[in-house]
Chains A and B, each alone.
Chain A
Amino acid sequence: MAKRIDVSGLTAYYGSHKAIEDISMTVEPRSVTAFIGPSGCGKSTFLRTLNRMHEVTPGGRVEGKVLLDDENLYASSIDPVAVRRTVGMVFQRPNPFPTMSIYDNVAAGLRLNGSYRKSELSEIVEKSLKGANLWNEVKDRLNKPGSGLSGGQQQRLCIARAIAVEPDVLLMDEPCSALDPISTLAIEDLIGELKERFTIVIVTHNMQQAARVSDRTAFFNLAAVGEPGKLIEIDETERIFSNPSVQATEDYISGRFG
């Protein structure tokens, strides 16, 4: 299920502005890969090119290749809707559908993708909520609106919604930046469990978090404001944090800039 991502020569634009330039990397299946780097370095943009969400932004366009196992996501025959169905995403701010109940939120993706018997649907919803470590907290109020939950619970609800459709890859764009430390811890534990089943890519501003949850870490940087962001290096997380091969990485990690 979990798939490997191979990116080669990827450049992304906002209109005429080049946001990231010539990025190539490999993301291993069943592992957590963290993207770190200063603000504006394009790590979130890059993440969004991995499920073709970047082109949703007006003026957004992409050059280069992203191979999911062996399929190029940007080949002309590929349906972006199918890509997003296969590569799930969790956003910076928890965004459950405000008009739907907790149950409907989790079932939303399933209902798009086919018809289910009620029992099947309930089974998947329960499984997904358990997978997101949320089941025990919400099982008595599945019909209440999702917006009534706490921030951390909402974010886990969003994760449950994303994993309900069994994606191959799960992208997380700073999933903890809007949460308190305890909720953050809960999400980090969850990420550790989810990597058994999914390929996970996480963007984070928090280097301790990258060190705690990820197997591999990629460092992005930009030469100056207005210049495109670039991938500086990607390596085992342990190495990046102890003995990076590029000076800029060490400067960033030791807090000399960023």
Chain B
Amino acid sequence: MDISTKSDTAPPPPPTVVPLEPGSRRPSVRLGDRIFLGLSRGSGILLLLIMAAIACFLAYRAALVLAKNDGNFLTTFEWEANGDPPVFGIAVLAFGTVVSSVIAMVIAVPVAVGIALFLTHYAPRKLSGPIGYAIDLLAAVPSIVYGLWGVLVLVPHLNGLYGWLDTYFGWTGILDWQGGAPRSLFTVGILLAIMILPIVTNVSREVFRQVPLAHQEAALALGATRWEVIRMSVLPFGRSGIISASMLGLGRALGETMAVATVLSPEFVIRTSLLDPGGGTFAQNIASKFSEATVQGQDALIASGLVLFVITLLVNGAARAIIARRKEYSGANA
């Protein structure tokens, strides 16, 4: 989406194409054009203003409460934002958000790449259309429904996996399980993985589809098996696409609210074991604490939301930058 492509699509400016005498009609033509241009440019500017406003207002409200905060915003393990003075910190939330999103990525990215390869290179053609469709629908399921499903189906089914992980990997400390209900950050990670699967799959699939046939045939003609074709031509070509797809998925996982709020049993602590309930994420904490929050408490939640906002901005910005770079790169070799 760089500007150079736009100049191809943009038609020549009207004055050169409308060779009318400067009589009565021209001013009205000009006026109509000017109004329309003003309107459309105005909406573009409005969008920029909205983005700026989001950042400014969040920062303003956050600043109000941060001045009063009796704890350290970054390191305090507590969330008593309604008190006087308020004591709150985002350490637990940052930990939970990062950990659950990382788990989601570790699970979702390989599976999504697998499905994308399945759809582009393995599935019979008759199958790949409907499956792609089904994946689109999976993306359309509201997150609250994922939450309900997670509690009903996913959580009870994880008892077995948790027991197994505890038996064989409990010694690591990270996968130690005290036997509580499996509504932990690990479960959240699994649920988030299912939720971001569609978007990562869709973007990767698009990238794999764009792999030039010529490169794949080059590998085939050397006597490569199907897997070797993928290794030699599809994956190298799609690598940056996979990275940016993952980043987009990560952005979703970081900001996911309702599914996490439904499945996690939150507690304001950091546990070394990912299988034990407790912890929280930025978005989940906002949703759970909001109904009891005073105005001051809401401001504290806004402060944590600002951090989340900045994190997702960075992640998405990085994803876009990678996509943009890939475009130049593949354009040069097309």
Contacts and interface: CB of A to CB of B under 8 A. Distances in A.
> Is A in direct contact with B (CB under 8 Å) within the complex?
yes
Interface of A: 51, 53, 56, 58, 81-86, 88-89, 91, 93, 95-100, 108-109, 112-113, 147, 158, 161-162, 165
Contacts of A95: 212, 214-215, 217-218
Interface string B247-283: 0000000000000000000000000000000000000
Interface in B116-132: 125
Contacts of A100: 236
B20 interface: no
A-B pairs with lowest CB-CB distance, top 10? A85-B223, A109-B222, A95-B214, A89-B221, A99-B236, A84-B223, A95-B218, A98-B333, A147-B333, A81-B225
Contacts of A161: 218, 222
B218 A93 contact: no
A76 to B, nearest CB: 18
B100 interface: no
B220 interface: yes
28 contacts: A51-B221, A53-B217, A53-B221, A56-B217, A81-B223, A83-B223, A84-B222, A88-B221, A88-B222, A91-B217, A91-B218, A95-B217, A96-B218, A97-B215, A97-B233, A97-B236, A98-B236, A98-B237, A99-B236, A108-B219, A108-B232, A109-B222, A112-B224, A112-B228, A147-B333, A161-B218, A161-B222, A165-B223
A73 B148 CA distance: 57
A162 B215 contact: no
A81 B228 CA distance: 11
Given A99-B236, A108-B232, A93 B214 contact: yes
B220 A84 contact: yes
Contact of A162 (B222, B233, B333): B222
A89 B217 CA distance: 9
A100 B333 CA distance: 13
Nearest to B212: A95
A56 B214 contact: no
A161 B220 CA distance: 12
Contacts of B141: none
A91 B212 CA distance: 13
B112 to A, nearest CB: 21
Nearest to B330: A98
Interface string B229-249: 000110011000000000000
A56 B212 contact: no
B244 to A, nearest CB: 17
Contacts of A86: 223
B223 A58 contact: no
A58 B222 contact: no
B35 interface: no
B3 interface: no
Contacts of A53: 217, 220-221
Given A53-B220, A84-B223, 20 more contacts: A56-B220, A81-B224, A81-B225, A82-B223, A83-B223, A84-B224, A85-B222, A91-B214, A91-B221, A93-B214, A95-B212, A95-B217, A97-B236, A99-B236, A100-B236, A108-B219, A108-B232, A109-B223, A147-B333, A165-B223
A225 to B, nearest CB: 24
B18 interface: no
A96 B232 CA distance: 11
Contacts of A147: 332-333
Given A53-B221, A88-B221, A58 B233 contact: no
Contacts of B228: 112
A143 B274 CA distance: 45
Contact of B237 (A84, A85, A99): A99
Contacts of B221: 51, 53, 84, 88-89, 91, 162
Contacts of B233: 97
Given A91-B218, A95-B217, A113 B223 contact: yes
A97 B333 contact: no
Interface in B35-71: none
Contacts of B220: 53, 56, 84
Interface in B201-229: 212, 214-215, 217-225, 228
Contacts of A84: 220-224
Contacts of B232: 97, 108, 112
Contacts of B237: 98-99
